[in-house]
A and B are shown apart, each in its own frame.
Chain A
Amino acid sequence: MADTPYLLEARNLCQHFASGRGGKRLTVKAVDDVSFGVRPAEIFGLVGESGCGKTTTGRTIIRLYDPTSGTVTFDGREISGGMTRGLRRYLTDNIAMIFQDPIESLNPRMTVEEIVGEGLTIRGVKDKAEVRRRVVEMLGKVGLTNEHATRYPHEFSGGQRQRIGIARAIITHPKMIIADEPVSALDVSVQAQVINLLNDLKEEMGLTILFIAHNLSVVKYFSDRIGVMYYGHLVEIARGDDLYAKPLHPYTRALLSAIPEPNPLTEKTRRRIDYDPERDHKEDYFSGNPVMTEIEPEHFVYCTPSELELYRDQVRGKADA
């Protein structure tokens, strides 16, 4: 698995937003120098606190925003360049997106059939009966019935709406799905339902998923590999188990220490580690340019050369113990 080529690869991806003019010009580096790859049929989790650029990364990849710099390739083809009709088509055929808010992401004026079938109609499926048949088939896959097709979004519960969003995303049979916090807005009992549904669909259709979330337990359960983001930077990438067993970057440690323990006895003694870049990094983290370095197979950390040595020792120490 480790040497399969990446399906989606982002290299030094930057997304900066500017506001104001002249002296008042303000640039927000929402995504700054982010590099990662997602392998075919893999679930890559992207975690981080609110506002760290997870969603922006997803939206930049699918070109809701035009990237400031850096490249993104999908299946060997660059998808971050100038937008042409052909590229738009290639992109929308291959990558679909599931959105966070189940209420906001469905047009209140359209029926479920129109919402789910839109991907087909804009791809030239003219025959109404054919669209209808495929919509119903897709609704069946996500656990809705044929009768639901004529309904409007406001008649459904949050979980149902999110499943409609999933049906809309997969009806065109994309190779990859960017799931932008698909369960954050749902209550816990429904979260499992949607996650399991995504898992089943992934198995059935061989989907590759970029899973953006802030709930660490969900990400751990669901993802093969996990990337941790902090303030626009990707600070650590590792296989799920590795990341939880031996987190290296101080931010990752802080993040993991925030997970509540299911056991009340240990929960009482759980200590929250906080992260302060000034304190937790050496001088040269800010002056010398830290880079993404592979510290052991499949485990990357964003660090400077001097920190690299430190992390190497830690990894070795863990291995010895």
Chain B
Amino acid sequence: MLDPHNLPDEIRDLPDAGFELAQTGEIKDEVFHTKPIGFYRDALQRLRKSKASMVSFWIIVIIILLALIVPNITGYTYMEQDTSKKNLPPKIPGLESLGIADGSQILTNRRRDSLDNPDRFPEGSVIRIVREYELSGVPVVDVMVDYYTFVGVDDDVYHWMGTDYLGRDLCTRLFQGTRVSLLIAFFAVLIRIVIGVIYGAIAGYYGGKVDFAMIHFAEVMDGLPYVVVTILFMILLGAGMFSIILAMTVTGWIGTSRLIRAQFYRFKGREYVLAARTLGVTDRKLIFRHILPNTIGPLITKAMIEIPGAIFSEAFLAYIGLGIKPPNPSIGILLSNGQSVLLQYPYQTLFPAVLISVLMVAFNLFANGLRDALDPTRRGED
């Protein structure tokens, strides 16, 4: 037979014994000597390395713990009113000797001679005179007083963040309000995610006409003005946590559904999904076991980004008077109440404002860290 490759004789005549099989017998692979690392453990390791997200994680934990504990240990309740103690400034045991949070308040435009009147200024209430001047020939003073003594409250009464216009303890109300705000945000985001995931998964997985109809319905829903919808819900269901959560979810799920739909389009044609289909895996299992776990990174990130958004929306609604029913506090209601007396009693706005800012910054930083940890290829994007 003719040699198909026209090889020279010396190559053709090489003895077989000179050759050795590159691989003989069965293939046996070596055992790995490292520990198996799953997706979540890998992400956790990366998350731990990011300082900003660890700090913000602990800040969030501390705020949640404070919200759980503080309202129970202040000795006041969030709805307990006492008009004799209204608008008290902050007074914290231990710090009062340092001159901060000592319950002092500067009263302006007081007649000089009224200082000696024990009915107006009780014994020991005046700390010092800040400014003396004349107004229309009458000597007047700006005077710093111990406000607690001034209004005749016992010396051992402490309100760490002061009280509001109804004499309610603001510290209790702030952390009770944090509880409410976090609960509203958590449930609003949870419901959004659940609806969005199911809706987006169905639209993205089946595609075609189903997708077309579903995505256009979502477009229409998205066109509804948010504030109008909220007002309608408030009229229909009355003010309260439930109607706020509903109002925030009625159009809020659309963003999540878009995200999930896009992810399903990305993953449904992957070979491992096709491979599962050739094994006979059902649609439901393909959606929830094969495709959805791969979208979990963007999903968790989305949820973490939406929580501060939801807290802020709640605050915004409270601010425009669509908050939850009084006397229940929320951060938004405290801000809105504080804002009306901002110039006289700035501390009433200060504490909720600081808390909501810290909370939002912490959630955003943590969400960024989570995104980087769950999807390392997107590190540094914003």
Contacts and interface: CB of A to CB of B under 8 A. Distances in A.
Interface of A: 59, 62, 64, 88-89, 91-93, 95-97, 99-101, 104-109, 111, 118-119, 122-123, 142-145, 147-148, 150-152, 155, 160, 163, 165, 168, 172, 189, 192-193, 196-197, 244, 261-263, 265-266
B275 A92 contact: no
B278 A97 contact: yes
Given A143-B26, A144-B29, A151-B32, A64 B282 contact: no
A266 B12 CA distance: 14
Interface string B20-53: 0011001111011010111100000000000000
Contacts of B74: none
Given A105-B272, A142-B27, A96 B279 contact: yes
B271 interface: yes
Given A122-B279, A192-B22, A263-B7, 6 more contacts: A108-B39, A151-B32, A152-B37, A168-B279, A263-B5, A265-B8
Nearest to A142: B27
11 contacts: A105-B271, A105-B275, A106-B275, A107-B276, A143-B28, A145-B28, A145-B29, A152-B38, A192-B22, A192-B23, A193-B27
Given A109-B294, A152-B36, A196-B23, A172 B279 contact: yes
B272 A118 contact: no
Contact of A265 (B4, B6, B28): B6
B1 to A, nearest CB: 10
Given A151-B36, A152-B36, A160-B29, A99 B5 contact: no
A197 to B, nearest CB: 7
A99 B27 contact: no
Contacts of A119: 279-280
Interface in B97-154: none
Contact of A148 (B5, B29, B273, B276): B29
B350 interface: no
Closest 4 CB pairs of A and B: A143-B27, A92-B280, A105-B271, A104-B271
Contact of A99 (B7, B22, B23, B271): B271
Contacts, number: 107
A104 B272 contact: yes
Interface of B: 4-8, 11, 22-23, 26-29, 31-32, 34, 36-39, 270-282, 285, 290, 293-294
Contacts of B271: 99-101, 104-105
B315 to A, nearest CB: 37
A290 to B, nearest CB: 30
A282 B321 CA distance: 84
A310 B118 CA distance: 128
A118 B276 CA distance: 8
A165 B276 CA distance: 11
Given A92-B280, A266-B6, A109 B32 contact: no
A182 to B, nearest CB: 12
Given A97-B275, A109-B293, A118-B276, A147 B23 contact: no
B54 to A, nearest CB: 25
A108 B38 CA distance: 9
A260 B97 CA distance: 93
Contacts of A122: 279-282, 285
A89 B280 CA distance: 7
Contacts of B29: 143-145, 148, 160
A114 to B, nearest CB: 9
A105 B274 CA distance: 8
Contact of B31 (A62, A142, A145, A165): A145
Contacts of B294: 107-109
A315 B168 CA distance: 104
A122 B282 CA distance: 9
Nearest to A245: B4
A266 B5 contact: yes
Contacts of B22: 189, 192
B278 A64 contact: yes
Contacts of B38: 111, 152
A92 B278 contact: yes
Contacts of A147: 31-32
A99 B272 CA distance: 9
B280 A197 contact: no
B291 to A, nearest CB: 9
B268 to A, nearest CB: 12
A262 B278 contact: no
A308 B31 CA distance: 58
A160 B38 CA distance: 18
A124 to B, nearest CB: 11
A92 B23 contact: no
Contact of B275 (A99, A142, A261, A263): A99
Nearest to A123: B280
Nearest to A99: B271
B111 to A, nearest CB: 76
Nearest to B4: A244
Contacts of B6: 263, 265-266
A151 B36 CA distance: 5
Contacts of B36: 111, 150-152, 155
Contact of A193 (B11, B23, B281, B285): B23
A3 B343 CA distance: 100
A215 B268 CA distance: 29
Contacts of A100: 271
A106 B7 CA distance: 43
A102 to B, nearest CB: 9
B284 to A, nearest CB: 11
Contacts of B274: 59, 64, 97, 99, 105
A178 to B, nearest CB: 8
A104 to B, nearest CB: 4
Interface centre among B6, B29, B38, B278, by most chain A C-beta atoms within 10 angstroms, is: B278
Contacts of B282: 122
B264 to A, nearest CB: 15
A40 to B, nearest CB: 20
A100 B275 CA distance: 11
A64 B277 CA distance: 8
Contacts of A59: 274
